[in-house]
């Protein structure tokens, strides 16, 4: 019998490198395009599809996968807001994910963004490349003694809290399932918005968290607050954020994710006319830093992602307990 096939969508060179390194058992067909109803037919003959954060695994896609007898959706990420899990369940298709691959990667990138934004490191770098050694406009503030507001105190949020404590920051947190964490005070969302100097999002995208940063929450915040989002784009109403930036009601924003990132992020658009006005304006602001959903992007994380994704499929085929099933 031939090897089981995996149709692997939104494949990038780095995905292929790490999956080829660990794959011994399967025939992986790499497709550059993101999975969506229009190209789901490519999964024909495969028992599993492997997808990432911006594949559109909606009801329609899953109906097609079901007709093609695909049995498993292998998410090579933690978040699953882009998959209609209900439809998959109805069709008997298992959804398996990688719940944790490196909380350190994301938490460290988050602090990197804060430092870059607060101390204006990208601006300083560009200046000194042109022998401009002026400090005008580069002033930041000490993190020591300031307050970090952390929304979502799961795996990544907790590592980020440890990093903040290392900087001598006070930490406020909001999470519907508070944990016992030394030196962290759980408060209401409103208190967190009002009292924080830095607000960092580490919760999943759900109905409750959709646009958790919006016009009214922005109105509660301190004038110099820095907002950091390394979770999911739709946690922030980006137009409301842009208005707050334009009206100088907040200090700045660092975004590793963007609500309209699909089709834009992970790709080189430098030769194209990007018609998304909101991102174009954000990119042009001196107090905004954008990275392209790269917080997870470390060797350790990619190695874990490849191994756990393949193990999830091994478990399914061997009839083992599916510890990483999305239910």
What are the catalytic residues? 232, 261, 293
What is the closest distance, in whole angstroms, from the C-beta atom of residue 160 to ligand NAI in the complex?
A: 9
26 Ramachandran zone, left/alpha/beta (phi>0; psi -120 to 50): beta
* Residue 234 neighbours by CB distance under 10 Å: 20
**Total number of residues that touch ligand NAI (CB under 6 A):** 31
Stretch that binds ligand NAI, among 11-19, 175-183, 245-253, 270-278 (CB under 6 A): 175-183
Q: Which residues from 70-99 bind ligand NAI, rule CB under 6 A?
A: 78-79
What contacts 82, CB < 8 A, 6 or more positions away?
A: 51, 53, 54, 55, 56, 57
What is the closest distance, in whole angstroms, from the C-beta atom of residue 176 to ligand NAI in the complex?
A: 5
Give counts: helices (H), strands (E), the chain.
11, 12
> Which residue, 40 or 111, has its beta carbon nearer to ligand NAI?
111
Q: Which residues from 240-269 bind ligand NAI, rule CB under 6 A?
A: 256-257
Q: Does 175 bind ligand NAI (CB under 6 A)?
A: yes
3-state secondary structure at position 249: coil
Rounded Cα distance, 38 and 103, in Å: 34
Stretch that binds ligand NAI, among 124-132, 134-142, 201-209, 305-313 (CB under 6 A): 201-209
Q: Does 295 bind ligand NAI (CB under 6 A)?
A: yes
User: Angle CA(302)–CA(308)–CA(309) in degrees, nearest 5?
Assistant: 90
Q: Does 153 bind ligand NAI (CB under 6 A)?
A: yes
Q: What is the largest CA-CA distance in the chain?
A: 69
3-state secondary structure at position 171: strand
> Which residue, 9 or 26, has its beta carbon nearer to ligand NAI?
9
Stretch that binds ligand NAI, among 17-25, 145-153, 266-274, 276-284 (CB under 6 A): 145-153
Give the CB-nearest residue to ligand NAI: 154
When binding is defined by CB under 6 A, the residue of 155, 217, 241, 250 that contacts ligand NAI is: 155
Nearest to 282, CA basis, from 294, 265, 263, 296 = 265
What tokens does 169 get? 């920051």
What is the closest distance, in whole angstroms, from the C-beta atom of residue 246 to ligand NAI in the complex?
A: 26
Residues that bind ligand NAI in the complex, under the rule CB under 6 A: 78-79, 100, 103, 106, 151-157, 174-177, 202-206, 208-209, 230-232, 256-257, 293, 295-296
């Amino acid at each position: 019998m031939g090897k089981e096939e995996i149709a692997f969508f939104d494949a990038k060179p780095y995905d292929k490198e790490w999956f080829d390194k660990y794959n011994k058992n399967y025939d992986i067909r790499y497709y550059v395009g993101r999975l969506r109803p229009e190209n789901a037919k490519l999964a024909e003959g495969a028992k599993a599809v492997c997808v990432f954060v911006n594949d559109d695994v909606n009801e329609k896609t899953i109906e097609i996968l079901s007709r093609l007898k695909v049995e498993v959706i292998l998410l090579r990420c933690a978040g699953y807001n882009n998959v209609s899990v209900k439809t998959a369940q109805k069709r008997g298709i298992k959804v398996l994910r990688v719940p944790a691959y490196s909380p350190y990667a994301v938490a460290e990138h988050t602090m990197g963004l804060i430092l870059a934004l607060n101390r204006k490191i990208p601006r300083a770098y560009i200046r000194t490349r042109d022998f401009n050694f002026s400090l005008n406009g580069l002033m930041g503030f000490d993190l020591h003694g300031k307050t970090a507001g952390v929304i979502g105190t799961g795996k990544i949020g907790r590592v980020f809290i440890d990093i903040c404590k290392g900087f001598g920051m006070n930490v406020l947190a909001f999470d519907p399932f508070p944990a016992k964490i030394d030196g962290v005070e759980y408060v209401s969302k409103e208190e967190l918005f009002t009292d924080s100097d830095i607000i960092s999002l580490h919760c999943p995208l759900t109905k409750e968290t959709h646009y958790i940063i919006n016009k009214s929450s922005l109105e509660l915040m301190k004038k110099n607050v820095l907002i950091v989002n390394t979770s999911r784009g739709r946690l922030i109403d980006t137009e409301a954020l842009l208005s707050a930036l334009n009206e100088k009601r907040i200090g700045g924003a660092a975004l590793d994710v963007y609500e309209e990132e699909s089709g834009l992020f992970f790709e080189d658009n430098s030769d194209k006319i990007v018609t998304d006005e909101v991102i174009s304006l954000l990119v042009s602001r001196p107090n905004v830093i954008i990275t392209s959903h790269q917080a997870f992007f470390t060797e350790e994380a990619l190695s874990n992602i490849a191994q756990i994704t393949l193990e999830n499929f091994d478990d399914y085929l061997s009839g083992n307990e599916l510890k990483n099933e999305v239910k």
